Structures are given as structure tokens and as C-alpha cells.
Chain A
């Protein structure tokens, strides 16, 4: 039990790892073919491969029964879960507090950072050699936890474990493990929406978006709670009641299920119970999901589980209107083959890629990742790694001072800043001076502000 000798970090909030960690030897082994959900574990069934993985996610019950693991087969992870629980309980055993304050939160071993999160009766663990911060890993496991809640609801989980700590939760998760797998796959790619906890919107002319929103509103039915048009994981339009908002973490789950698995994109109508945990973790809503063109999906959500036929009519009417007004083509064009917008379209020289998050809207934008700057999967993944590093640096709590950072790495300079209203990260040419960086920031901000209405959904349609 080597693990028992590790101490928890003294100050869990201040654990930005050394800057060089893990970014140069980024592993691309599970980056291909997001459609093949079940192949992920095939080559990880031997212990050496298992232990050499850059990232691990484990979800277990407080009895140590496995619920989910990114890598490894059952035989491997069953023992591993026991060891994890032992390490975690060793520290729990040291304190008699009930407020969880003395629980093991994180530690480092070699170049691995270990982060644990307790959501009684579940324990979630992330282990990474990739140099993310503790906060970033914690955010990643929270996304996975939210996914489990969205399948089962918090009340149902508490109910099945009540007086039955031996419960095997995998009995209830059934086929929904593929959603967890899709999520972990996105996390491993360095998903910007998960890093930024923000939604990406499809860039559309204001008039087009307004027309779509007006159509959604005009066909609203009594039990409709939310209506969304989503294209290739990007929000096109949304309508909602005045008193109820939609929470980006909930939508991230929804988008993940729709666009990173094949479950809902078969041209069929789907009617699924779904818990949106940030909206209400105790119960289910019901979503009517229908893919109406190559990349685009209409989602109609109701609290009434008998509203299927009502929402089907709403769907038919909305699609009729979208077709009549020739609105489907512009939506598809906006996201065609993953297309967003291009860095050369914005008047900022040398910029290779950027992420801009509007904090107020909880939305972010990014241009295409241009193949001539980032030709390989590993270079794209490295870019996301640098974004994580910048993000960790500007969010590190070291006196609240460091709000703007940059460094040169190889043939590029990476810049990040965090302000009260936005976050901006970008990659530009090597050895760019501070003065040039400042000009670039100004130019990007000016461009964003000029195009705000095309880039972001400001409020959406409200009824």
C-alpha cells in the first residue's frame, strides 16, 4: 500500500502544477473515431498499458464497487477501486468530523495529480499526468457526476443506496455508460466547453437567428418548457419561460449526448427522460429530440411525460416554418463540417487560434483550428493543453494579481487573461512582444464587440 504514505496537499486550492508537465508527450491513443464508443478499452486490458495512461477517471460507490472507469477491464479496476477506497478512507479515518473538511482532496505522486470528490454515496476520482490544475480536474469530475445525475437523478441514487451500501449502481446505469465514455473522450481531447464551462454558439447573421427564434416562439405549446435548435454542438437558438433559465452545464450534457454519441442522430424521433441537474437534480424532464438535417437537431423539453404527441406537433410545425423560410440551409452553412469562422476573417495578424468567453452570457467562441498551424491531432491536443495551462495560471489564487500571462513555447507564443467580463486565450507567432500582444488583445476585443450579435445569443427568446 504505497498510497498510504502520500499526504494530502496542504493547500488544495493552490496546486498549479509545474509548467512543463506532460504537455510535450501528449498521448493520442484514444483520439480517433468518436463513433466507436465501445472500442476504447480494447487495448487497455493489460496492467502496463493501464498504468501508463495519461488520464484516469474512476467512479465508485462508498463500498468500493466500481461504477465507471475510463480504462481497464473489470478485473483490473476491481482491485484498483479497492486500493483507491483504502487510500481515501485512510485519511477519512484520521478525523471524526462529519463536515468532510478533512477528506483527502488531492495529492501528487510523481507527475500524476490525484483529485477526489465525494458525492455521497459516490466517490469520483481523476488522475492525470497532463498537468491540469486541481480545479480543472475537479471540474472534469463534476461534469461526469452531473452526467450520472442526468441519467438517474439525485433522489433515485440516494434511494437505491439507502440502507443498501452494497448496491451495484451499474445495474441502473445500463446502456448510458456510453454517455460517460463520450464525455471522458471529449475531456481527454481538451474540450474547450468543459474547460471554460461555457456553451459555444453558432455564428449566424442576427436576422437569421431572430427569424428562427420567432418561429420557435410562435409554435410554443402549453407544456413546452424549453426549445432549442442546436447544430454540431453549437447553440443556434433557444426559447425559455421568463422565470426559468437554462444552465450551461446541463446543456453541455445534452449536447454531448446528442453530438458525441450516435444515440439520437438517426432521423428518428426520441422521447427521453432526462434530469438537468443544475436546473433540478431531483426529477426528470422529458426531451423530444429530432435531427432534422445533417448537423442540426431540434430539442423540445417538457416537464410532462405525456406531452410526446403535443411536442411532436410542435416539432412538425417548427420544421414546416423553417423550411418555408429557407432557414435550414443557413444553419447548416454556419457549422458545415465543423466550420466555425476563420482567423483570417478577423483583422489580427499572426493570430493562430483563440478562445473568447463572455462571462455574462456564459458562452464562448473560437475560430476553426487551421490545419496549416495545427496539422496533427497531437498538435491540436497540445494547443488545448496550453489553453489549460493558461487557464490554470490566470485562475490560480496567488493574491488575485496574476490576470494576464504569456509564454513562448516552441514556435508559438501563448497568451491568456481573465477580466471581470471575459476570458481570452490565444496562440500567436513566436517571441511576440508585450506591445504586440496588447495590440492583438485590443483587436480581438474590438472584433468581438463589433460582431457580438452574430457571435452570441443575447438572452434568447423568452415567453
Chain B
């Protein structure tokens, strides 16, 4: 653990089951894609390092299961996140309509200091699948994002590696500014007031 100058960012990825959360991360981290669906159970953890301007950031990607809410894990999962990624499948309107609930759930559980400015990024995945008349239009998705705190919006394909790098770059950037937004007071002035004849029971020496 000698790379202490690198910012460590916690990124939570939420969305309905099957929308491609795990696939997006795998594509981003390993450049791999599988057509086989293996539901995530509980959670999985991935990392990737990235250069953002003059910072090297380490992204800790928390991949959650869409199938169940795993409510007993909720708080721990969301606590201290630097960015939350909301994923839906552009060919599945239901998964799009669920985004609001995922967002609300995150805000309740994570309880960030300033919910208004907490960074979310919305990702519409599986754009490689053509001719689908149920498809959620880009316009509709953008309108939703604008209405909910101006969330950045990306369309991706984990399968064809379209838009994935671009989405995660913005995710990293926004996470980094969240991590560094709240300045802490780094002074070491906690002095102790010693009264040499106060009443304290001695223990040794």
C-alpha cells in the first residue's frame, strides 16, 4: 500500500437485474464480454486505476445484484460512496422506469451530506441491439436526467465496447470531485491541557 497519493474512489453500480451492470464493469476492467448471463449474487468487487488530469485514481467498483435488494446489506453498500451509477437496458422500459426508485433508495441508504449535489451517472446499456420498437428514446432518457439533478447520461454497449470508457471517465471525474469537495481541517493543534496536580489515579511506574 505504498501508493498513498492515489485517490481511492468508491463507486456503486445499481440497476435492475440483467441490464448489464456486471458486463459493463467486466468490459471496462478486463475488456471481456460474455453472452452468458450469470446473475450477481450479493455483490462483486472490481478495481481499475485511471488517470484523471494529473491525478491517478483507484476506482473501487461495487457491483450489486439487481435481482434482490439485499436490504440487510444496503447501508454498508452505499455508505461512503463517491459516485453512484444507475444502469438500465435501453430495450427494457421497465428497467428505465426503475431508475428513480434506485436513485431514491441510494439517497436514503447512503445519506450523503448534500443529496442535491451528490454525483449520479446514468447509463443506458445494450445499444447494440437493433430494431426494437420498445426502445427507450435518447430524448426521454435525457429529459429524465435533466429533471433529476442534471445527471450525465451515456449510451453504451458492453458487448461492443461502445461508450464504456467515456462513461467511466466521467464517473471517475465526478467521483474525484466529490471525494475532494469537502475540505477537511488538517491542523494538528489538539493540545492537551495538563494540570500537573489534577486528580488522576496513577497506574504504573
Could you tell me which A residues sit within 8 Å of B by CB distance?
1, 4, 38, 41, 61-66, 68-69, 73-75, 77-83, 85-86, 88-90, 92-94, 153, 155-156, 159-160, 163-168, 170-174, 177, 225, 238, 240-248, 273, 275, 280, 282-285, 303-305, 361-363, 457, 459-460
Contacts of A163 in B (CB 8 A): 113, 182
| Interface contact B1-A69, CB-CB below 8 Å | yes
Q: Does B198 contact A (CB under 8 A)?
A: yes
| B101 part of interface (Cβ distance < 8 Å) | no
Q: In the complex the two chains form, is B10's CB within 8 Å of A63's CB?
A: yes
Q: Most chain-A Cβ atoms within 10 A of its Cβ — which of B3, B74, B199, B202?
A: B202
Chain A residues with CB under 8 Å of B202's CB are 240, 242-245
The smallest C-beta distance from B126 to any residue of chain A, in angstroms, reads 26
Interface positions of B from 169 to 205, Cβ below 8 Å from A:
178-179, 182, 184-186, 188, 190-205
Q: What distance in Å separates the Cβ of B12 from its nearest Cβ neighbour in chain A?
A: 10
Complex interface: chain A residues within 8 A of B193 (CB): 303
The contact of A61 among B58, B80, B204, by CB within 8 Å, is B80
For residue B131, give the distance in angstroms from its CB to the closest CB of chain A: 39
B4 within 8 A of A: yes
A151 to B205, CA, bound (A): 24
Q: Which 10 A-B pairs give the minimum distances between C-beta atoms?
A: A63-B80, A93-B72, A89-B76, A82-B45, A165-B80, A245-B202, A79-B45, A283-B192, A283-B190, A166-B80
Q: In the complex, which residues of chain A have a beta carbon less than 8 angstroms from the beta carbon of B80?
A: 61-65, 165-167
Taken residue by residue from 68 to 98, chain B's Cβ proximity to chain A (1 for < 8 Å, 0 otherwise) reads as: 0001111111011110000000000000000
In the complex, which residues of chain B have a beta carbon less than 8 angstroms from the beta carbon of A93?
71-76
- How many residues of chain B are within 8 Å of chain A by beta carbon? 53
Contact B190 A155 (CB under 8 A): yes
In the complex formed, the residue of A with least CB distance to B175 is A166
- By beta carbon, the residue of chain A nearest B178 is A166
- 8 A-B contacts, Cβ less than 8 Å apart? A64-B76, A77-B1, A78-B60, A88-B76, A159-B184, A167-B184, A244-B196, A246-B205
Return the chain A residue nearest B190 by Cβ.
A283
Q: Which residues of chain B come closer than 8 Å to A73, judged between CB atoms?
A: 1
B162 within 8 A of A: no
Partner of A244 from the list B72, B184, B190, B200 (CB cut-off 8 Å) is: B200
- Known contacts A82-B60, A89-B77, A245-B205, then 10 further A-B pairs from the complex at CB < 8 Å, ordered by chain A residue: A41-B2, A61-B80, A63-B10, A86-B73, A164-B184, A243-B199, A245-B201, A246-B204, A303-B193, A362-B204
Q: Which residues of A contact B205 (CB under 8 A)?
A: 238, 240, 245-246, 457, 459-460
Candidate in B49, B80, B197 with the most chain A CB atoms within 10 angstroms: B80
A174 to B205, CA, bound (A): 33
- Total of A-B residue pairs, C-beta within 8 Å: 169
| A303 lies within 8 A of B194 (CB) | yes
The yes or no answer to B41 lying at the interface (CB within 8 A) is: yes
B43 contacts chain A at the CB level, 8 A cutoff: yes
Question: Which residue of A78, A159, A167, A240 is within 8 Å of B45 (Cβ)?
Answer: A78
Give the distance to chain A from B194, nearest Cβ to Cβ, in Å: 4
**Shortest beta-carbon distance from B103 to chain A in Å:** 18
Q: A64–B75 Cα gap in the complex (Å)?
A: 12
Interfacial chain A residues near B58, Cβ < 8 Å: 74-75, 78
**A304 and B186 alpha carbons, distance in the complex (Å):** 19
CA distance A225 to B193 in the complex (A): 12
A residues near B2, Cβ cutoff 8 Å? 38, 41
Q: Which residue from B74, B81, B182, B198 sits with its C-beta under 8 Å from A243?
A: B198
Q: How far is the CB of B3 from chain A (nearest CB, A)?
A: 6
A64 and B58 CA atoms in complex are apart in Å by 13
**A63 engages B46 (CB within 8 Å):** no
B68 to chain A, nearest CB (A): 13
Q: Is B161 positioned at the interface, with any CB of A under 8 Å from its CB?
A: no
Docked-complex contact A248 and B204, CB < 8 angstroms: yes
